[in-house]
């Protein structure tokens, strides 16, 4: 449509705000642009509003400024099929009666459409995604019997089958075993190399630089955005983590 690279950026925020009610705004005036084929960590202290930012971008919070977000230059509704989201593992009911394969196949429901059962082609596709995260042997296993790391990889496989161009991941590396961490890092790097844009909430400052090329330092507001090396300086981190109370107070929300 319009000229310039930013018009077609996979994700562009201009003064975006989001929260759970008008008096509980957790994200204030966030602006940033993610380029195609970038892998960015969203870093900040607990209660900084990182998860709220991801959910708000996807229209999943009660209050969110949908007009301030563009996906590939379009609204969310127009670009829905190009966007995938991985929720925090703790938000899922793992006692739900479903196998690993069932959960991965859920990523195909939109493409399958209403009134259509999960057919053989869909199951094959889900199985291939499970193989990519090293879980082909667990396909038929109830999700309740999987370890934490395996559950995380199931959710990643579900995001993979959506074949999205933009991935928003909430804490993909939280409390996972080493095999899972290596698997996820490899999968994300492969996706990025193939042009997928990835934004992942990451809580562990120490491992950001190992897994992400760029980073957004966030605490209610975007404090810095750039290459992980230069963005996550000690001074900037201290500022982000000690600014938490002041920033939250000025935003009118609780930490």
Partner 1 sequence: MNGFLQEFVAIDLPALAAALLALIACGTLGNWLVLRKESMTGDAIAHAVLPGLVAGFLVTGTRSVAAMFAGASIAGVAAIMLAGWVRKRMRLEPGASLGVVFTAFFALGVALLESQGARQIDLDPECVLFGSLETLFLVSVRDKPWYTTLPHELWTLFAAAVLAIGFSVLFMKELALLAFDRNHARQTGAAPRMLESLLLAVTSACVVASFEAVGTILVVALLACPALIASPHARSVRGQIAISLVAGSALTVAGYALAAFAPTMFGAPSALNAAGMIAVLLAIAVPASHMLRAMLRGA
Of 196-255, binders to partner 1 (CB under 8 A) are: none
> Is residue 137 within the footprint of partner 1 (CB under 8 A)?
no
- Reduced to 3 states (helix: H, G, I; strand: E, B; else coil), residue 222 is strand
Q: What does the block give as tokens for 140?
A: 């038929």
Select the residue interacting with partner 1 from 12, 102, 165, 171 (CB under 8 A).
Answer: 102
Considering only residues 49, 107, 172, 253, which one is a binding residue for partner 1 as defined by CB under 8 A? 107
Strand 69-70 with 83-86, pairing: unpaired
Residues ≥6 apart with Cβ < 8 Å to 40: 34, 198, 199, 200, 212, 213, 214, 215, 216
Which one of 56-64, 124-132, 193-201, 232-240 is the stretch in contact with partner 1 (CB under 8 A)?
56-64
Minimum CB separation from partner 1 for residue 199, in Å? 14
Contact status: 120 vs partner 1 (CB under 8 A): no
Least Å from the CB of residue 31 to partner 1 = 22
Closest CA to 140 of 154, 152, 161: 154
Look up residue 173 and give its two tokens. Answer: 């590396």
Q: Which of 7, 15, 109, 250 binds partner 1 (CB under 8 A)?
A: 109
**Region near partner 1 per CB under 8 A, out of 29-37, 66-74, 82-90, 234-242:** 82-90
Interaxial angle between packed helices 178-193 and 148-161, expressed in degrees from 0 to 180 and rounded to the nearest 10: 20
3-state secondary structure of 192: helix
Chain residues that interact with partner 1, rule: CB under 8 A? 21, 55, 58-60, 77, 80, 83-85, 87, 91-93, 95-99, 102-103, 106-107, 109-110, 112, 114-115, 117-118, 142, 158, 162
């Amino acid at each position: 449509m319009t000229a310039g690279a930013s018009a077609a950026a996979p994700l562009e925020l201009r003064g975006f705000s989001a929260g759970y009610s008008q008096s509980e705004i957790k994200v204030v005036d966030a602006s940033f642009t993610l380029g195609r084929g970038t892998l960015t960590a969203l870093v900040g202290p607990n209660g900084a509003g990182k998860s709220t930012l991801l959910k708000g971008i996807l229209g999943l919070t009660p209050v969110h400024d949908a007009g301030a977000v563009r996906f590939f230059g379009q609204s969310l509704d127009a670009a829905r099929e190009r966007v995938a989201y991985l929720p925090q593992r703790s938000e899922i009911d793992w006692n739900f009666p479903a196998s690993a394969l069932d959960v991965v196949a859920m990523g195909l429901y939109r493409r399958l459409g209403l009134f259509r059962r999960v057919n053989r082609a869909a199951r094959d596709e889900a199985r291939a995604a499970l193989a990519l995260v090293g879980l082909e042997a667990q396909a038929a296993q109830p999700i309740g019997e999987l370890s934490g790391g395996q559950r995380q990889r199931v959710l990643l496989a579900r995001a993979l089958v959506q074949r999205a161009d933009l991935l928003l991941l909430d804490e993909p590396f939280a409390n996972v075993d080493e095999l899972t961490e290596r698997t996820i890092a490899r999968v994300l790097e492969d996706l990025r190399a193939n042009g997928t844009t990835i934004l992942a909430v990451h809580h562990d400052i120490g491992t950001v630089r190992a897994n992400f090329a760029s980073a957004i330092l966030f605490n209610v507001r975007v404090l810095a955005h750039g290459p992980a090396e230069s963005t996550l300086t000690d001074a900037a981190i201290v500022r982000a983590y000690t600014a938490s109370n002041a920033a939250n107070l000025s935003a009118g929300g609780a930490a």
